[in-house]
Amino acid sequence: MSRWGLVVEQNLGYGRKGRMWSIGVMDHVEGTREEALAALRIRAERFEPVHPANPKSRTLYREADGFLLVVEGVWQPFHCRFSVAEQLYDSTVPEPAEEAADAEVQDGPTAPVPVAPEPGPPPAWDAQVPEVPSWLGRDDLS
């Protein structure tokens, strides 16, 4: 079963030069693309964008891959895009043990990984610099 990310893109910041386009994943849905689009529509209808602060009206449009929300503000309109994206990889989720074991069996036996020897005690000298400076204890430097 596929895992889908519910993605929103919206304007953040204030003023003409201070605005930036931002993206975020609102939630994840397990299931088909149609189920993810249905969940996305519910989220898009209820979504409260950052801008405008005092909306006059809201209009939701369906696009090929998601939805477009146009919010009329006091001075100008703002918009948000909503889309579904199939999650193919996530570095924070470990690979299931069964799949990892199957992958090892299919690849065949692997050579043992060489183990690095444990480091010895730290050296008394580092970059040819003595632990005690040569000027320490000299009487002719005072």
Predicted confidence (pLDDT) per residue in 50-101, tens digit: 888 888 999 999 998 899 999 998 888 888 999 999 999 888 877 666 655 5
Where are the domains positioned within the chain? 3-86
What confidence score (pLDDT) does residue 20 get?
A: 79
What is the Cα–Cα distance from 5 to 32, expressed in whole angstroms?
Answer: 12
Task: Give me 85's structure tokens.
Answer: 């994206």
Q: 91 vs 119, which has greater pLDDT?
A: 91
Q: Which two tokens stand for residue 120?
A: 């010895």
Lowest mean pLDDT among 6-20, 39-53, 97-111: 97-111
How many beta carbons lie within 10 A of that of residue 44, not counting itself? Answer: 23
Structure tokens at 86: 């199939």
Predicted pLDDT of residue 74? 85
User: Are 12 and 2 spatial neighbours (Cβ–Cβ below 8 Å)?
Assistant: no
State pTM to two decimals. Answer: 0.61
End-to-end CA distance of the chain: 80
Number of Cβ atoms within 10 Å of the Cβ of 4: 22
pLDDT, residue 61, reads 96
pLDDT per residue as tens digits for the range 21-41: 889 999 999 999 999 999 999
